[in-house]
Amino acid sequence: MKITRRDFLTASAAAAAGAAVRVSGAQAQQAGPDLEQQPMRIGMTDWNLGQRGLTEKLKLAAMIGLDGVQVSILYPEDGSLHLRCPKLQAEYRKTALDYGVQICSLAIGDLGPGSPFKQEPMGVMRVADAVEVARNLGTNDILLPFFRDRAPDMTDEAQAKRIINSFKELAPRAEKHGVVIAIESSLSGEDHLRIIDAVGSPAIQVYFDPFNCKYYGHDPIKDIPLLKDYIHQVHVKNGDQLMADDCVRGFSWTEVAELLYKVGYKGWYVLETSAPSELVSDTRFNLGYVKKTFRVA
């Protein structure tokens, strides 16, 4: 029986909720009977918290007031397993429970040498491994980034076919574990849709980054409505500026926030923000801006 997108998202959300470590009392009160305004979940990338791959960043996130952390799976040169190791997975789960934060997503920062989805097979193998890691950590989202020369040329039929076939192989594994592989790339919104439609699985979606969208020559105001059914998680950042400063890419964060609300986005907002002055105070300031500017339908 073919899994529908609605069934898949319901099941994966339930699994993530079962693994969730906390919903604050204040958030629960906000949810109340008013279903038009749901609690917002705001996380941050571990690399912007200072360093990738350290459980200590969960403690720091809790101290700042964040709801979660996007953690990185690393591939050390000495061949050690890092987050593929069950012992380290258990340490992450325990730390998340101890400090009341969630692991909102798993980031694959290193897909290996070359252009993994154009030529090298290692990247696809690493994504396949990461699906089970994500499930074991209690998250239902994998950030899969590839940019510029690592992204396929979708006008080249051979390259387009290769990436589509790669995701067709990965999708059943992701569906089985209730995990979404969320693509963040330099491709256009139309090219993302082409991949998603061709694969035909609710486990292949988009990790939307308005800042990067504009940086790579596209328009987030156009792409949000275009990709509305497939945006699974969102990065927010403003280069080396605070979020409240004028967006250095020239678009309006308030317009982006309103569009995401209108299309019904309900997922995490994940800070990928720099600290112009000091990490804790700047992150709290950015956190406050996101809470004030964005909302969840």
Q: Which two tokens stand for residue 258?
A: 């309103």
Let me know: does 90 contact 125? Beta carbons within 8 Å.
no
Does the pLDDT of residue 189 top 90, yes or no? yes
Domain of 99, CATH number, reads 3.20.20.150
Q: Which two tokens stand for residue 65?
A: 């007031």
The answer to whether residue 102 sits within a structural domain is yes
- Distance of alpha carbon 253 from alpha carbon 131, whole angstroms: 32
What pLDDT does 35 receive?
44
- Distance of alpha carbon 269 from alpha carbon 263, whole angstroms: 15
What pLDDT does 98 receive?
98
What pLDDT does 7 receive?
62
Range of the domain at 101: 5-14+38-291
Does the pLDDT of residue 29 top 90, yes or no? no
Q: Per this entry, what is the length of the chain?
A: 297
Strand ranges, E, within the chain: 42-45, 68-73, 102-108, 141-146, 180-185, 204-208, 231-236, 269-271
The answer to whether residue 20 sits within a structural domain is no
Does the pLDDT of residue 185 top 80, yes or no? yes
pLDDT bin (cut points 50, 70, 90) of residue 23 is: very low
What end-to-end distance do the CA atoms of the chain give, in Å?
Answer: 31
**pTM: predicted TM-score of the whole model, two decimal places:** 0.89
Secondary structure (H, E, C), 233-288: EEEECECECCCCCCCCCCCCHHHHHHHHHHCCCCCCEEECCCCCCCHHHHHHHHHH
Average pLDDT, stretch 236-249? 97
What pLDDT does 200 receive?
98
Secondary structure (3-state) at 206? strand
Does the pLDDT of residue 132 top 50, yes or no? yes
When divided into structural domains, the chain yields a total of 1
Q: Which of 93, 76, 95, 99 shows the shortest CA–CA distance to 135?
A: 93
Instruction: Report CA Rg, the chain.
Output: 18
- Distance of alpha carbon 183 from alpha carbon 151, whole angstroms: 11
pLDDT bin (cut points 50, 70, 90) of residue 295 is: very high
Neighbours of 28 (CB within 10 A): 10
71-122: pLDDT as tens digits: 999 999 999 999 999 999 999 999 999 999 999 999 998 999 888 887 788 9
Average pLDDT, stretch 255-284? 98
Kindly state the percentage of the chain with pLDDT values over 90: 83
**The tokens 């600290």 sit on which residue?**
275
Kindly state the percentage of the chain with pLDDT values over 70: 88
What pLDDT does 55 receive?
98
Residue 52, phi then psi, degrees to nearest 5: -75, 150
Let me know: does 18 contact 217? Beta carbons within 8 Å.
no
User: In degrees, to the nearest 5, what angle opens at C-alpha 171 toward C-alphas 167 and 172?
Assistant: 140
What pLDDT does 39 receive?
87
What pLDDT does 169 receive?
96
Average pLDDT, stretch 264-276? 97
